[in-house]
Structures are given as C-alpha cells and as structure tokens.
C-alpha cells in the first residue's frame, strides 16, 4: 500500500503540535502585539530592538536575514548552497506542496540558511535555522547544508556559529532525516579534532533530533531567554510519567539550572558576546 | 509456540489439528497417515505464504515478541567470558543498556546493547529498554575504553527510544545522545552495530554510528515509532499498522535508502522460532564484518565511517 492511500480514507489530517503564539501584526503591519504581555508597539520600533518586546523582554521570532544582520558585520554575508531543495523519498502526501508553500512564505528554499561572513572583522561560517519553514525540521537538505557549512569552516579554519530553531527530525523524509543527526555530529567531530570553535545558540524552539545532535555539541552552548529546548515533547513526557510538569520545564532557564547550558544570552548582548568569544579563539 | 502473534493464528490452528489427528491415530489405532500428510503439506504451504510475505506491521510485532532473543541472549551465546561493566561514573547505572568486555572468537571486544526485559519484572528494572542519559554515557565510557585498548566495539540496538521522562530531560538526554553520535564518529577502532529488534529514533541511533550497520530481517529502525507517526499524522495511535507501511522502516527499505549494510536473515517466523539458528547466522555476520574492518587503519576507519554517513540523504541541487 502506498502512503497516499492512507490519506484518502478520510481520516482527520492532524497538523504538527501547536507552536507558541505568534506576535500579531495590526494596522497593515504598522503595529505589533506582543504575544506575552499583549502590549501593542510600533513594528518599526520593535525591529530596532531585534524583535524583543520593549515592555516584557519577550524574544519574538526573527527571520534568518534579520538574524544575519544582527550578528554579522554589515554586508559581509555570502550565502552557501542557497538552491538545494528537498526530494520526497517517501512520496509523502502534500509534502512537496508544503515545501513550496513555505518557500514562498519565507523566501528561502529550506529551513536553514548558511554562509560566510565576518564578525568584528574575523571570518566565520554561520548557520541560521528558520522555524517558519516546516517548523525548522531537519531533513536531508538541512543536514547536508549544515554539514557542508562545517566542512567550509574546516577549509577556512574558521569558527562555526549556528542558531538552531527546530521541531526535530523531519518525519516526511523518514529514516534519512534521522541519519542527518549522525552526519552533522560526525562533521562536528572533525571540527573538534581540528581544534576549531563551534558555538551553538539555541533559539525557540530547539527540540527532538536537532537538540539531540549538533545543537547540544557546541564548545559553548548558549540559548535565548525562555526558549523551549528539550529532547521529548512535553505532552509525551506527561503521558509517560503521569504527572504534571513544572511550568518552566524545558525552558532555557530550566536547562541552565540543571547544568545543561553555559549561559542564557539576551538577544541584545548576542553580538557582543559572540564577537568576544570569536576574538578569544583567534 | 504458545505466544503466537495474531497473524499466525491460521498456522497454529492447522498445527493443532494435525496434532489432534496424530494423537487420535495413536489412541484409536486408526490409520490417518494419508490425511495427516495432506495437512502437513498444507501447513508447509501456509507457513511459506505467511512467513515469506511478512508485512511491515507483522515484522514490527515479531521485533517486539516477548520471546525474541535480547542483547544478553546474544552475548551469552556468541561471546566468551563476558564481564559486565556498570555505571557512567557521573550519576548511576542504567540497566536499559548493558555493556562489558568479552572474547569473540578468541579476540577481546567491547560489547554494548539496549536491554529490554524478558518479563514484566525485568522490564521494570530495565525500564523497557528505554535509556536515560546515564545509559548513553555508560556506553560512551565503554567505547572510549575500547579505543584505549584497541579492541573493536560491537553494539546491539533494541529500543523503542530514549526514555521521555522528566529526570532524563533534567540530566541532558539530548546532550547524551548527541555526544555519542559525535564521539562514535571519531572512534579509532572498528565499530559494528546490529539492529536486533527495535531501532527507535535517536535513542537507537545513539548506539548506531558504526562502520557497518546491520539489521535483522524482522526489525525496524525509524525516526519515529509507528505509534508516534500515527499520533502525529492522524491524532490517533491506533493507525500504527498503516504508519509502519508509510514510514518505510523495515530492513529492506533501509537497505534501499543506503542506510544499512546487511540484512541479517532470520529463521522462518522470526528469531524466536529458532534462537540457536539465529545465533549461528549472526555469528557469521559478525565474523565477516570484523574480518573486513580489522585490516583498516584507524584513519581509514574514521574516514570511511564519515563518508558512509555523509552520503545519507536525498536532495536536488540547481545553480539558480
Ligand atoms: Zn511583551
């Protein structure tokens, strides 16, 4: 039986677990409502603050290009392999269509943007995952682009910085998505052996197969405030252990308290800290 | 076989009927040998029909059969002088993973595997073969030890997945799995992994970054369990049978995707139908793998392992 047949049986097609509430734009984008404190602010003003709410400090999502602008020296970024697109190894219903939809929505072809640039004048290789593209899930393209970025860093003898944001392995690509965890981690072993710097910055959300591979393998593991970070989903854990979990479970602050992070980094300090770390390793 | 699976019911019924006729022959002194012979031919046909055409979900059921041999069963039969080694030296000893040193065909090896329980009591002790971080860290400790003493590492994969629990998260389940993936990639000694039952996601892969990855004919290996896939796709775990087909999780599928090396043949109906024969088959597979890998230098082992995983994936690339 082909997987297509399963979907024709009129079973309710469930979407992925709900994401955190998104900031709402109003008045044709002029204003934005913070999903946490509900304050309405000027979108332009919010962008000046790197999408961090000026009232409550809530870190709202950033696009890869906003992130690149925030971290790298102006106009220093050159993208690597922007045209790699996913195949459909399981012939999964609606997968191709969903990819195309997210390509239109985000303006890039996959859930990670990689490239070279400079930070405080020092060359680095950078990767930024986009949770708006298939929840940042990792299929063959994400794994391959990150691996090639690491190989590029090895060639250049440059540090690698990665901003992760992912719901985990991309189910629609089956076992091949799982294997990207091994592929990327093996590449990081090469960086490690070469004595090169890898900084992992986990942003909301970093879970499943991404959290259980490269995102946890930084020489320094940082996270933005209140990001959701963990291996298993909260609902599955609650069902398994039959008890309620604390509200801050699997947040950056929770991980810090349990010794799983080097530091929780506010977005406004991000460039300075990364810049300092890169300087300390040149 | 008392513990037969639902799809084996017709076979069991026919077998019972044959047994009845045989005892009837003995008791009543009536010759039914012609009848019995016919039924035995029919049984042979039926068995071939069922067991030579196993569906993915049927293979999943065989992989989970309570009588299916486990890691410790393979260790007991295939290795000599096994000495189990415990603990991660950081937190505790996770009995969902066993490991130690032993001789295989006269040479020392490190052997590690997920260990599910063979009854309810043992399952509780072994957490149904679902490890916590300390299990993965114990495994890594033993692999590093193998590297130091230059002996091969043999891993058996058999888990529904890493344990989704509160304590597991607090102690860094993600980091423990990730660390194993990275460190296994760099081991200077031969690493062989065999999926003997269930290869559940990252929890299975954490013992699976090997030079050779083999998979039993009736095992599964997947990003997500059939039940998990069913819940996500249809908000209902009861379509696991359909998900097992859709997700392409059998040994044949993974061989096609270039993810595994060899499919390890099983006796008809699965390993539990003839554990002795299964041991002999696996012994040959391990012998051959070791023979192939022991001629490689540490650098060749690392590079070929890297290239093996590097080629996994499928995508399209254009210039525009
Ligand atoms: Zn706010």
pLDDT digits (tens, 9 = 90+) for A253-282: 999 999 999 999 999 999 999 999 999 998
State how far the Cα of B96 lies from the Cα of A43, in Å rounded to an integer. Answer: 52
**pLDDT confidence bin for B320, thresholds 50/70/90:** low
In the prediction, which pLDDT does A5 show? 56
Report the C-alpha dihedral over residues B4, B5, B11, B16, rounded to 10 degrees: 30
Residue B2 pLDDT class (50, 70, 90 cuts):
low
Any B CB within 8 A of A87 CB: yes
Q: Report yes or no: A237 and B165 within 8 Å, Cβ to Cβ.
A: yes
> Is pLDDT above 90 for B29?
no
**What residues pair up with B264 in beta bridges, in sequence order?**
B216
Cβ neighbours of residue B136 closer than 8 Å, sequence gap 6 or more: B97, B162, B176, B177, B179, B180, B206
Q: Which domains does chain A have, with CATH numbers?
A: 13-60 (no CATH), 61-281 (3.90.226.10)
Please provide the average confidence, as pLDDT, over all residues in chain A.
93
pLDDT at residue A12 greater than cutoff 50? no
Question: Of the candidates B169, B309, B319, which has its C-beta nearest A231's C-beta?
Answer: B169
pLDDT 10s digits, B39-76: 999 999 999 999 999 999 999 999 999 999 999 999 99
pLDDT band at A10 (very low <50, low <70, confident <90, very high): very low
Q: What percent of chain B is modeled with pLDDT above 70?
A: 99
Supply the pTM of this predicted model: 0.95
Quick check: A188 and A214 in contact, CB under 8 A? Answer: yes
CA of A258 to the centre of ligand 1 (A): 27
Chain A interface, mutation test: which of B58, B170, B202, most A Cβ atoms within 10 Å? B202
| CATH 3.90.226.10 residue window(s) in chain B | 65-311
Out of A233-247, B56-70, B209-223, B274-288, pick the least confident. A233-247
Q: Is the pLDDT of residue B250 over 50?
A: yes
Q: Where are the alpha helices (DSSP H) in chain A?
A: 3-7, 43-48, 64-71, 95-106, 140-156, 175-193, 208-211, 234-241, 252-257, 267-280
Give me B132's structure tokens: 């916590």
Distance CA(B283)–CA(B44), nearest Å, equals: 28
Query: Which class does domain B65-311 fall in?
Result: alpha beta
Nearest to B103 by CA among B78, B85, B79: B79
Least Cα separation, residue B182 to chain A (angstroms): 5
Beta-carbon separation of A6 and B242 below 8 A: yes
Which pLDDT score is estimated for A18?
Answer: 41
Say how many Å lie between the CA of residue A248 and the centre of ligand 1: 18
Instruction: Please answer whether residues B140 and B178 qualify as being in contact, where contact means their C-beta atoms are separated by less than 8 angstroms.
Output: no
Rounded Cα distance, A113 and A30, in Å = 27
A261 is in an annotated binding site: no
Q: Do B168 and A243 lie within an 8 Å CB cutoff?
A: no
- Kind and range of the H or E element at A199? strand A198-207
The answer to whether the CB atoms of A178 and B164 lie below 8 A apart is: no
Q: What's the confidence (pLDDT) of residue B235?
A: 85
Using a pLDDT cut of 70, give the percent of chain A over it. Answer: 93
The pair phi, psi for residue A40, each rounded to 5°, is -100, 125
Peptide bond into A205 cis (omega under 30): yes
Complex ipTM value: 0.96
Distance A40 CA to ligand 1 centre (A): 8
pLDDT value for B232: 85
Residue A6 reports pLDDT greater than 70: no
Range with the lowest mean pLDDT among A51-55, A222-226, B117-121, B156-160? B117-121
Query: pLDDT tens digit string along A92-151?
Result: 999 999 999 999 999 999 999 999 999 999 999 999 999 999 999 999 999 999 999 999
Q: Do B248 and A214 touch (CB under 8 A)?
A: no
């Amino acid at each position: 039986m082909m997987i297509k047949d399963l979907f024709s049986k009129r079973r309710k097609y469930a979407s992925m677990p709900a994401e955190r509430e998104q900031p709402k734009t109003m008045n044709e984008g002029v204003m934005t409502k913070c999903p946490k404190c509900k304050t309405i602010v000027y979108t332009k003003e919010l962008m000046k603050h790197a999408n961090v709410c000026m009232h409550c400090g809530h870190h709202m999502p950033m696009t890869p290009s906003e992130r690149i602008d925030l971290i790298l020296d102006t106009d220093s970024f050159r993208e690597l392999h922007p045209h790699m697109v996913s195949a459909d190894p399981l012939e999964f219903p609606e997968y191709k269509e969903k990819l195309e939809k997210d390509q239109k929505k985000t303006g890039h072809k996959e859930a990670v943007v990689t490239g070279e640039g400079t930070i405080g004048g020092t060359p680095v290789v950078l990767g930024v995952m986009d949770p708006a593209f298939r929840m940042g899930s990792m299929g063959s393209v994400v794994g391959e682009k990150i691996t090639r970025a690491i190989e590029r860093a090895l060639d250049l003898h440059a540090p690698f910085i990665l901003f992760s944001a992912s719901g985990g392995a991309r189910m629609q690509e089956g076992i091949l998505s799982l294997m990207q965890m091994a592929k990327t981690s093996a590449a990081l072993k090469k960086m490690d052996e070469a004595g090169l710097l890898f900084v992992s910055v986990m942003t909301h959300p970093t879970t499943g197969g991404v959290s259980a591979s490269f995102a946890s393998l930084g020489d320094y593991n940082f996270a933005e405030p209140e990001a959701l970070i963990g291996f298993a989903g909260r609902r599955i854990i609650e069902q398994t252990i039959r008890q309620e979990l604390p509200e801050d479970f699997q947040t950056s602050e929770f991980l810090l308290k349990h010794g799983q992070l080097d530091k929780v980094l506010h977005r406004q300090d991000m460039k300075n800290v990364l810049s300092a770390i890169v300087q300390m390793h040149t | 076989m008392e513990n037969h699976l639902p799809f084996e019911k017709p076979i069991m019924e026919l077998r019972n009927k044959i047994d009845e006729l045989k005892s009837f022959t003995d008791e009543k002194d009536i010759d039914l040998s012609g009848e019995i012979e016919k039924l035995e031919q029919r049984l042979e046909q039926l068995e071939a029909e069922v067991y030579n055409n196993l569906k993915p979900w049927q293979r999943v059921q065989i992989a989970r059969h309570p009588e299916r041999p486990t890691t410790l069963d393979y260790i007991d039969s295939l290795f000599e002088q096994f000495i189990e080694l415990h603990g991660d030296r950081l937190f505790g000893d996770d009995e969902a993973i066993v490991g130690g040193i032993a001789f295989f065909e006269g040479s020392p090896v490190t052997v590690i595997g997920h260990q599910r329980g063979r009854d309810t009591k043992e399952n509780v002790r072994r957490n149904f073969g679902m490890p916590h971080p300390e299990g993965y860290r114990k495994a890594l400790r033993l692999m590093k030890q193998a590297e130091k003493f230059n002996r091969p590492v043999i891993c058996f994969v058999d888990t529904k997945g890493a344990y989704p629990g509160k304590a597991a998260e607090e102690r860094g389940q993600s980091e423990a799995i990730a660390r194993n993936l990275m460190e296994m990639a760099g081991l200077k000694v031969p690493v062989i992994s065999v999926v003997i039952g269930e290869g559940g996601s990252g929890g299975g892969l954490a013992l699976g970054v090997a030079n050779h990855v083999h998979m039993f004919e009736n095992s599964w290996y997947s990003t997500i369990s059939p039940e998990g896939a069913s819940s996500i796709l249809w908000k209902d775990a009861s379509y696991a049978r359909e998900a097992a087909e859709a997700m392409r999780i059998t040994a044949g599928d993974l061989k096609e995707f270039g993810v595994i090396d060899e499919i390890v043949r099983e006796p008809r109906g699965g390993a539990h139908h003839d554990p002795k024969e299964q041991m002999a088959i696996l012994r040959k597979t391990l012998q051959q793998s070791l023979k192939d890998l022991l001629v490689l230098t540490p650098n060749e082992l690392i590079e070929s392992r890297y290239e093996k995983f590097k080629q996994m994936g499928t995508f399209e690339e254009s210039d525009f």
